[in-house]
Structure 1
Amino acid sequence: MKFTDLDLSKSYTYADYLKWQFDERLELIKGKISKMSPPPGEMHQRISTILSSELYFYLKGKSCHVYSAPFDVRLSRTINDKQVITVVQPDICVICNPKKIDERGCLGAPDIVVEILSPGNNKKELQNKYEVYEEAGILEYWLIYPAEKTLSKYVLKAGQFQALRPLTVGDEITTNVLPGFALNLSEVFEDNILDKY
């Protein structure tokens, strides 16, 4: 079976997703197939590596863990994979409940999800994923805009995301999920690297 053989108007489940062996990277958003952007470029990967590394070293020896894409996150309020209709691969996620981790990834909401936007995927990240992340109960959603050198952070309050002041070079990322974690965005957006884009 090829990706082109799939009926994109149908709804699928995680059980279907597990059977697919396509070259294309796919996600399921509320049962609908979402083709992921082309492989990320150098700037995206550099930002991801810096942020993942900083989180890894901060979390070493603590109960929370950081994971980088490709890493399946099955968003469901149940523990039954057959009912999962949303499977995403966030660029970075932090998970503090080890019971959510299994050999296939994460079942349930990570505590923090980070998406690094690339040209062409802004609409998907801003609309589709925002909605499913909010519904799943993810505590914080960070959106990184490499070209603008900014980070938008959404914090879940009373079941809805609240936008905080956008952060840029010189500002520090902090989070209530990881008390004591602080990272200056100047380190994430290494100016000497990103200025060429």
Structure 2
Amino acid sequence: MTISIEKKVWTDEEFMALSKDGHRYELVNGELVNMGNSGMEHGGIGSFLGGLLAIYVRQHKLGTVCDSSTAFTLKNGNKRSPDVSFVSKERLKGLKRPPRGFFPGSPDLAVEILSPSNTVEEIHEKIVEYFDNDTRLVWVIHPDEKYVLVYHSPEPDHFLRPQDTLEGEAIIPGFSMSVAELFEEWDF
């Protein structure tokens, strides 16, 4: 849902202060876009995948994994917040700690988990923007249909079903998991 406001150039401080109202936003072409709150399924998939990636990435000293509260400042000034993201150690050279503000650039891996409110056009626009800003891999997870689309460019390269394996490829070498794990029913 787009909030109707006058287009303007937002400072990092102004944009960061918006989170105090309890909403999540992205900044797209000078306009605030309210990302809304996700449901438990969406949040659970993001937390599960983000947790697996974070442990693997830290153990192998590959970079850092971030959640949906992390905004990336893209070359065009837009601020995007993938549901899960990975930034390689190469892009973090010279840093000893994560920046307090927004990361200047895009993640190496961006993960978008579809919500019922997402449109095909909106997701495609994000994917194009990620690749225009040097993202190398995008995973789009569709919880309702239980599949993952893998992108190396703005067009999907792979359609993964629950019986397939999701891999980090050259971006997160050695990482792999069953797609089915993303959609498993609880067993407790």
Normalised by the shorter chain, which TM-score bucket? 0.7 to 0.9
User: Offset at 1:98?
Assistant: 1.6
Q: Does 1:171 align with 2:168?
A: no
Alignment of 1:44-123 (within 5 A): 44-61=42-59, 62-76=61-75, 85-96=77-88, 97-99=91-93, 101-123=98-120
User: Offset at 1:23?
Assistant: 3.6
The 8 Å contact of residues 13 and 86 in structure 1, kept in 2 or not, is answered as: no
Q: Which runs of 5+ in 2 are unaligned?
A: none
What amino acid sits opposite 2:54 in the alignment? Y
**Equivalent in 133, 137, 141 of residue 136 of structure 1:** 133
- Partner Cα separation in structure 2 for residue 169 and residue 9 of structure 1: 44
Deviations 1:13-54 (A, max 9, x none): 3445245453432211132221213x1111111111211121
User: Offset at 1:113?
Assistant: 0.3
Q: Which runs of 5+ in 1 are unaligned?
A: 1-5, 77-83
What amino acid sits opposite 1:148 in the alignment? E
Deviations 1:61-102 (A, max 9, x none): 3131111111111112xxxxxxx6211111100001224841
Q: Does 1:181 align with 2:175?
A: yes
- Alignment RMSD (CA, Å): 2.2
- Partner Cα separation in structure 2 for residue 122 and residue 54 of structure 1: 28
Question: Could you tell which deviates more after superposition, 119-128 or 84-93?
Answer: 119-128
What amino acid sits opposite 2:163 in the alignment? G
What SS is found at the alignment partner of 1:93? strand
- Partner Cα separation in structure 2 for residue 75 and residue 92 of structure 1: 16
Matched-pair identity in %: 26
The 8 Å contact of residues 109 and 137 in structure 2, kept in 1 or not, is answered as: yes
Structure-2-length-normalised TM-score: 0.82
Aligned length: 175
The 8 Å contact of residues 151 and 158 in structure 2, kept in 1 or not, is answered as: no
The 8 Å contact of residues 73 and 108 in structure 1, kept in 2 or not, is answered as: yes
What SS is found at the alignment partner of 2:107? coil
What amino acid sits opposite 2:177 in the alignment? L
The 8 Å contact of residues 13 and 85 in structure 1, kept in 2 or not, is answered as: no
The 8 Å contact of residues 166 and 177 in structure 2, kept in 1 or not, is answered as: yes
Counterpart residue number, 1:3: none
